Amino acid sequence: MSAPAAAHGIPHAAALAAWRGRAPAPPRALALPAPELLERFHPDRRPGAMVPLRVGASAGLPCRAELAALLQSDALVEDEDIAGAPLLDADVLVIGGGGAGCVAALTAARAGARVLLATKLRLGDSNTVMAEGGIQAAMGPEDSLQRHFEDTLRAGHFAADKALVAALVSDGPGVIRWLIQEGMGFDLAEGSDRMGGNLLRRKPGGATAARLLSYRDFTGLEMMRALREAVLLAPGITLLERHPALELLTDDRGRCAGAVLHELARGRPVLARAGATVLATGGAGRLHVAGFPTSNHYGATADGLVLAYRLGAALREVDSFQYHPTGIAWPPRMAGQLVSEAARASGAALVNGLGERFVDELDTRDVVAAAILREIAEGRGVARDGQAGVFLDTPGLERAKPGILGRSLVTLTHLAHRAGLDAAAEPFLVRPTLHYQNGGIAIGPDGWSGVPGLLCAGEVTGGLHGRNRMMGNALLELVAFGRRAGAAAAADARAERPRNIGLTHLADWRRALIAQGLPLARKAPLVFPPYGNFDMAKDRGRAA
């Protein structure tokens, strides 16, 4: 899928000549004030992009139309579908095998809980492994928790929940120490020894201090490696791979009591009963909102939002998505894959087809993305084989910092090889790609959703990022709130044992849909994107 873009632009050969003629292009301020730029060019501001939700705890809330259709759908399962299904029992059920789910499962198990960890795909198949740029934490002598707090609020347009932001930044230094103890590697500052050196820190977009910690340009992959190994070795965790969740269960008191899972290998339902459930199902990039390509993994289809909302959880900022500024625009077969923000944090410039810089590359992501879309829309972009974008000047970065592409930006160099170009000699053609779900399920600082028995962590939640996320805060979030939710779930599960579990919440939900004239024929969660050619209804029928 491709983002809407102007068919015209400056031909690639002419743009290359302009880039060479002006290199290095001098910095240039935005030609429009940021609020006007966002209003005119950010994809979320397009007419007709949002609709109000008509049913549920957040009725009236504006929402992306593509997401609203799923949120206001009927369930995939009925009571008769789960009659006689195998029953698994645990203290804590964690749904989602990415970073947040692994951290929650580890924390709950180490607190003495019996944990079921259910994943849609394999353990670690998630957006976590695709997070390249790094993780924020206020660790430097010139930095502070207050500065991290203020930077996060400012980047999110002051729409974030201050209690969540305070919890995030306060946990930051402890999260880094915990990750190191779990075996995660970090880059060290030049001249440091491996045993006692200082961590390398860079300044992320929108920040007032250098607090971005990284492992080369595949930080999320390194984090997931350490977490995956810890989960596989941890006692007390039962792993259920290829078991997507189709519906949440309730007991006779209205508490969340686990979930109906679908065992893909056998095409049958499995009931997972638990005293507390943690949703860590990630985002919604595979909905391709606004027609954009996405950096998200194959399973990012908003399942957790759908299930929690049907159970009565409130949502927030579901009209706000993040478009990463530097997704690959050419070649088309690689559309949506990211050139890490680590490149811009290291000094790579964005240049239009006239050879001009047009934005501060380390401004917030929404501003940088909107600025790129403006260049394309107004004909100053670069056109190549029907694709439009702008240049990311990696050759200029290599000239300024010899050896950086091979030493620190390893993933970028691999991407260039796959694209058929030499990143030290030719700039990437980039444009924004759908990257992150800014909003989600409303939670408190310990992950509670407002529905008894249901906690949430990671990208499925809302309130922390406001209307725009700072780079590096997502990896911090999944560990900080994964730990918080895992600990709270373990404590709650000891006091609660579900009884008389079932799907009693669906009757009220269906009455609400009928009252609003919404079709019961539309089913969700999606589980896999439509182009996956997977029919959940047919797969469920295999076990009949």
Same domain for 197 and 333, yes or no, is: no
Residue 268 annotated in active site:
no
Do residues 394 and 349 make contact, with C-beta atoms less than 8 angstroms apart? no
What's the rounded Cα separation, in Å, for the pair 285 and 211?
27
* CA dihedral of residues 164, 167, 169, 174 (deg, nearest 10): -150
Distance (Å, whole) CA 39 – CA 46: 8
Question: What local confidence, expressed as pLDDT, does residue 305 receive?
Answer: 98
What mean pLDDT, rounded, does the chain reach? Answer: 94
pLDDT at res. 192? 64
Q: Residue 406: which domain range?
A: 10-30+321-435
Q: Which helix (H) or strand (E) holds 316?
A: strand 315-316
Is residue 468 a part of any domain in this protein?
Answer: yes
Q: What is the CATH number of the domain that holds 388?
A: 3.90.700.10
For residues 209-243, b (16+ Cβ closer than 10 Å) or e, as one string?
bbbbbbbbbbbbbbbbbbbbebbeebebbebbbbb
Kindly state whether residue 504 falls inside one of the protein's structural domains. Answer: no
Catalytic annotation, pick one of 216, 365, 467, 484 = 365
Tell me whether residue 181 is exposed, middle or buried, using C-beta atoms within 10 angstroms of its C-beta: 0 to 12, 13 to 18, 19 or more. exposed
Residue pair 217/412 in contact (Cβ under 8 Å)? The answer is yes
**Element holding 225 (H helix, E strand):** helix 219-233
Rounded Cα gap, residues 299 and 271, in angstroms: 21
pLDDT tier at 427, thresholds 50, 70, 90: very high
pLDDT in tens, 86-120: 999 999 999 999 999 999 999 999 999 999 999 99
Q: What is the DSSP string of 317-332?
A: -TT-EEEEEEEE-SSG
Q: Please, which pLDDT band fits residue 205 given cuts at 50, 70 and 90?
A: confident
Beta bridge partners of 88: 272
Least confident segment among 228-232, 280-284, 528-532: 528-532
For residues 159 and 188, membership in a common domain is answered with: yes
Which of 105, 132, 133, 137 shows the shortest CA–CA distance to 118? 105
Specify the residue for token string 């946990």.
171
In a domain, 225, yes or no: yes
Nearest-angstrom CA–CA distance, 476 and 152: 12
Indicate the SS3 state at residue 396.
Answer: helix
Residues 315 and 461 in one domain: yes
Q: Are residues 305 and 359 in the same domain?
A: no
* 8-state DSSP, 27: P
Count of helices and strands (H, E) across the chain: 17, 20
Residue 47: what are its φ and ψ, rounded to 5°? -60, 135
- Whether the CB-CB separation of 440 and 462 falls below 8 Å is answered with yes
- The C-alpha atoms of residue 21 and residue 25 are separated, in whole angstroms, by 9
Look at the block and give the residue holding tokens 């010139």.
142
Residue 432 backbone phi and psi in degrees, to 5: -60, 145
Predicted confidence at residue 29, as pLDDT, reads 86
Q: Measuring CA to CA, which residue among 282, 292, 233, 234 is closest to residue 5?
A: 292
Percent of the chain at pLDDT above 90? Answer: 88
Last residue of a domain, one of 477, 495, 513: 495
Q: For residue 118, tell me if it sits in a domain.
A: yes
User: Which residues are CB-neighbours of 534 under 8 A, at least 6 positions away?
Assistant: 527, 528
Grouping H, G, I as helix, E, B as strand and the rest as coil, residue 174 is: helix
Look at residue 408 and tell me whether its pLDDT is greater than 70. yes
Q: How confident is the model at residue 4 (pLDDT cuts 50, 70, 90)?
A: very low
Regarding whether 467 and 404 lie in a shared domain, the answer is: no
The pLDDT tens digits of the residues spanning 483-524 come to 999 999 999 998 878 889 999 999 999 999 999 999 999 999
pLDDT band at 3 (very low <50, low <70, confident <90, very high): very low
Q: Are strands 212-213 and 454-456 parallel, antiparallel or unpaired?
A: unpaired
CATH classification at residue 207: 3.50.50.60
Q: What is the pLDDT of residues 430-445, one digit of tens each?
A: 999 999 999 999 999 9
pLDDT at 413: 92
> pLDDT value at position 541?
62
Q: By the 8 A CB rule, do 117 and 240 touch?
A: yes
Strand, helix or coil for residue 306? helix
Residues 122 and 233 in one domain: yes
Quick check: is 487 in a domain?
yes
Q: Please give the Cα distance from 295 to 259 (Å, whole number).
A: 28
Lowest mean pLDDT across 205-209, 415-419, 433-437, 540-544: 540-544
Neighbours of 336 (CB within 10 A): 21
Cβ partners under 8 Å of residue 289, min gap 6:
43, 49, 64, 66, 67, 321, 434
Strand partners, 280: none
d(CA 38, CA 235): 49
Q: Tell me if 446 is assigned to some domain.
A: yes
pTM score: 0.94
The verdict on 182 and 271 lying in the same domain is yes
Which pLDDT belongs to residue 196? Answer: 47
Q: What is the mean pLDDT of residues 384-404?
A: 96
- Structural Rg of the chain based on CA atoms: 23
What digits encode the pLDDT tens for the residues 223-267? 999 999 999 999 999 999 999 999 999 999 899 999 999 999 999
| Burial per residue of 499-510, b for 16 or more beta-carbon CB atoms within 10 angstroms, e otherwise | eebebebbeebe
How many domains does the chain fold into? Answer: 2
Residue 42 within a domain: no
What integer pLDDT is reported at residue 217 of this predicted model? 87
Residues 6 or more apart whose Cβ sits within 8 Å of residue 418: 334
**410 and 467 fall within a common domain:** no
Residue type, 478: L
Domain assignment present for residue 264? The answer is yes
Please give the Cα distance from 536 to 544 (Å, whole number): 13
Same domain, 429 and 456: no
Claim to verify: residue 15 and residue 154 sit in the same structural domain: no
366 in the same domain as 278: no
Residue 154 has pLDDT above 80, yes or no: yes
Q: Any residues with CB less than 8 A from the CB of 518 and at least 6 apart, and which?
A: 54, 55, 72
Q: What share of the chain is helix, strand, coil (3-state, %, to 5)?
A: 35, 20, 45
25 in the same domain as 103:
no
Report d(CA 352, CA 336) in Å as an integer: 19
DSSP string, 73-86: -B-S--HHHHTT--
